[in-house]
Amino acid sequence: MGGSYGSTLRYKSVQRLKPIGKHTLLGAGGEISDFQEIVRYLDELILYDNMWDDGNSLGPKEVHNYLNRLMYNRRNKFNPLWNTLVLGGVKNGQKYLGTVNMIGVHYEENHVATGFGNHLARPIFRDEWHEDMTFEEGVKLLEKCMLVLLYRDRSAVNKLQIAKITEEGATISEPYAIKTHWELEAFKNPATGAVGSW
Amino acid sequence: MFRNQYDTDVTTWSPAGRLFQVEYAMEAVKQGSAAVGLRSKTHVVLVCVGKANSEFSSHQKKIFKVDDHIGVAIAGLTADGRVLSLHMRSECIHYKFLYDSPLPVGRLVVQLADKAQVCTQRSWTRPYGVGLLVAGLDETGPHLYQNCPSGNYFEYQAFAIGARSQAAKTYLERKFETFPECSRNELIRHGIISVKEALAEGKLNGSNCNVAVVGIGEAFNTLDSKTVQQIIDSLEDRADEPPVDVAPVEGEQGAVQDDTDQAAAPMET
């Protein structure tokens, strides 16, 4: 959660996860207004898709490709949508997870991240992710990574949401906090052993 | 009948509420040589008779591949058919570019029908003089559609258009209830037999008979003339009835019939 204002985390209740249609979930990092614009484009896309009313529907792969076209074309016009997008979904039993960013770089992977997550979380995923994780194991792994990010990012806030998508649809949890520990010895008496007049 | 008074252009209704130019366009479809389409639970087959202008010329190309999962057979003005196929190819590739996914057949058919409708409501363009049988496969299964110059489209289990198509339809009517469970090869045989019924003179052979298939695990492709000749020959060896040797009917009795199993829904007014 959280919307930044430059390097400050100014808005602490902005939801950066959105369900798209029946089969997809979209998450974003970067410029919130651009993300809102992207969601508007996708709402229109899904609307027209639903209007066909013919049993066909756009799945996560199709939405991902559409977003890639969108981001890449804006980049080519030197007017990018300043976001990194994370997109996942399930359709007809097929799981999908991918990412696309403001310059149009896109790929599918078992674990994706935006911003500092790429540096702090992905290495943990590489070690600890494996096929056939249960949902609970997945959440634990995610929380572990979010904890690292919380400790290390000076403008993070202890408030996160977990979203789950299955064949039946998407659910986004209510925001919650994770337990952090600040009772390190060095914090208790910071002045102990310090040389100086004060 | 005083048809002549109200048939000069598309934008004139007759007192009986008909657009004669559109109906005349549908007549053009009936003049073209026959095209037959039929579908099972897994495949769609198109079979056509390709006329040749003379002994020296090649046989007319009536089947066009539109994408890996869609193909069309045309009857009527071949030039119009070619142009529409080109348009369909363009639509398919555009969708592929945007969504990295094959265009659902039903949506392509509707886009085509809307394109045809435009020509029934402008005074400066004429309706397309070609009927199309669109065969395709998408997420919701195999489909066979017919597109008319009027802008109407229908989905079928099996259908025939063009000259003497009624003879082909009569054969299809007798057999269509078995089509959903047919194997790919049985389906092709049914198609060729029904197209034989629509042949006025001469014999069916590998050159004047075009056969194309699309199905689960099989991209749209036209069979080469040698293969077609072999199938035709094998048909001659037996009786008119299709052989009972192949693929036993799976134990799926009372399997759900498609809701589009009317074979002879008339599109002509």
Give the per-residue pLDDT at A187.
Answer: 73
Average pLDDT across each block of 10 residues of chain A; the chain has 198 residues. List them in order: 86 92 94 96 96 93 97 98 96 95 96 94 96 95 95 88 94 93 79 73
Among B164, B162, B154, B114, which residue's Cα sits nearest to residue B134? B154
Handedness of CA B196, B202, B207, B208 (dihedral sign): negative
User: Average of pLDDT values for B13-40?
Assistant: 94
Q: What average pLDDT does the structure give for chain B? A: 87
Helix or strand (DSSP H, E) at A19: strand A17-20
Q: What's the gap in Å between the CA of A125 and the closest CA on chain B? A: 28
Residues of A in contact with B99 (CB under 8 A): 58, 61-62, 65-66
Tell whether B53 is within 8 A of chain A (Cβ): no
For the ranges A177-186, B192-201, B202-211, B219-228, the maximum mean pLDDT occurs at B219-228
Count Cα atoms within 13 angstroms, Cβ side, for A162.
16
Among A149, A68, A168, A163, which residue's Cα sits nearest to residue A108? A68
The letter for the amino acid at B242 is P
Give B67-102 pLDDT, tens digit per residue: 999 999 999 999 999 999 999 999 999 999 999 999
Enumerate residues 6+ apart whose C-beta is below 8 A from B184.
Answer: B40, B42, B43, B45, B213, B215, B218
Tokens for A188, please give them: 């208790």
Helix or strand (DSSP H, E) at A180: none
Q: Do A92 and B106 lie within an 8 Å CB cutoff? A: no
R_g of chain B, CA atoms, integer Å: 19
Q: What's the gap in Å between the CA of A154 and the closest CA on chain B? A: 39
Q: Do A92 and B138 lie within an 8 Å CB cutoff? A: no
**DSSP 8-state assignment for residue A4:** E
Share of chain B above pLDDT 90, in %: 74
The verdict on domain A3-109 having CATH code 3.60.20.10 is: yes
Residues B203 and B144: their CA atoms lie apart, in Å, by 27
Minimum CA–CA partner of B107 in chain A: A52
ipTM for the predicted complex comes to 0.86
Report domain B22-238's class.
alpha beta
Tokens for B47, please give them: 């079979």
Confidence grade of residue B240 (pLDDT, cut at 50, 70, 90):
low
Tokens for B211, please give them: 């056969």
Enumerate residues 6+ apart whose C-beta is below 8 A from A175.
Answer: A1, A13, A159, A160, A161
Residues of A in contact with B107 (CB under 8 A): 52, 54, 56
Residues A196 and B68: their CA atoms lie apart, in Å, by 79
Residues B171 and A189: their CA atoms lie apart, in Å, by 95
Residue B66 has pLDDT above 60, yes or no: yes
Compute the residue count for chain A: 198
Residues B130 and B150: their CA atoms lie apart, in Å, by 10
Phi, psi of A172 (to 5 degrees): -115, 130
Give the per-residue pLDDT at A191.
Answer: 75
Instruction: Give the residue extent of every domain in chain B.
Output: 22-238
Q: Do A65 and B98 lie within an 8 Å CB cutoff? A: yes
Q: What's the gap in Å between the CA of A54 and the closest CA on chain B? A: 8
Residue B266 has pLDDT above 70, yes or no: no
Residue B245 has pLDDT above 70, yes or no: no
Between CA B27 and CA B160, with CA B173 as vertex, the angle to 5 degrees is 30
Instruction: Give the residue extent of every domain in chain A.
Output: 3-109
Residue B4 has pLDDT above 80, yes or no: no
Please tell me which of the candidates A54, A65, A92 has its beta carbon nearest to residue B99.
Answer: A65
Give the per-residue pLDDT at B247.
Answer: 38
Residues B128 and B149: their CA atoms lie apart, in Å, by 5
Tell whether A66 is within 8 A of chain B (Cβ): yes
Give B217-232 pLDDT, tens digit per residue: 999 999 999 999 999 9
Longest dimension (CA), chain A: 79
Give the per-residue pLDDT at B55.
Answer: 83
Q: Do B104 and A92 lie within an 8 Å CB cutoff? A: no
How do beta strands A94-101 and A83-91 pair?
antiparallel
Tell whether A56 is within 8 A of chain B (Cβ): yes
Helix or strand (DSSP H, E) at A43: helix A32-52
Q: What's the gap in Å between the CA of B8 and the closest CA on chain A? A: 36
Residue B263 has pLDDT above 90, yes or no: no
Q: Kindly report the three-state secondary structure assignment for every residue of chain B.
A: CCHHHHCCCCCCCCCCCCCHHHHHHHHHHHHCCCEEEEECCCEEEEEEECCECCCCCCECCCEEEEECCEEEEEEECHHHHHHHHHHHHHHHHHHHHHHCCCCCHHHHHHHHHHHHHHCCCCCCCCCCCEEEEEEEEECCEEEEEEECCCCCEEECCEEEECCCHHHHHHHHHHHHHHHHHCCHHHHHHHHHHHHHHCCCCCCCCCCCEEEEEEECCEEEEECCHHHHHHHHHHHHHCCCCCCCCCCCCCCCCCCCCCCCCCCCCCCCC
Tokens for A44, please give them: 């229109």
Please tell me which of the candidates A56, A65, A66 has its beta carbon nearest to residue B107.
Answer: A56
Give B98-135 pLDDT, tens digit per residue: 999 999 999 999 999 999 999 999 989 999 999 999 99
Q: Do A54 and B106 lie within an 8 Å CB cutoff? A: yes
Residue B180 has pLDDT above 50, yes or no: yes
By the 8 A CB rule, do B39 and B212 touch? no
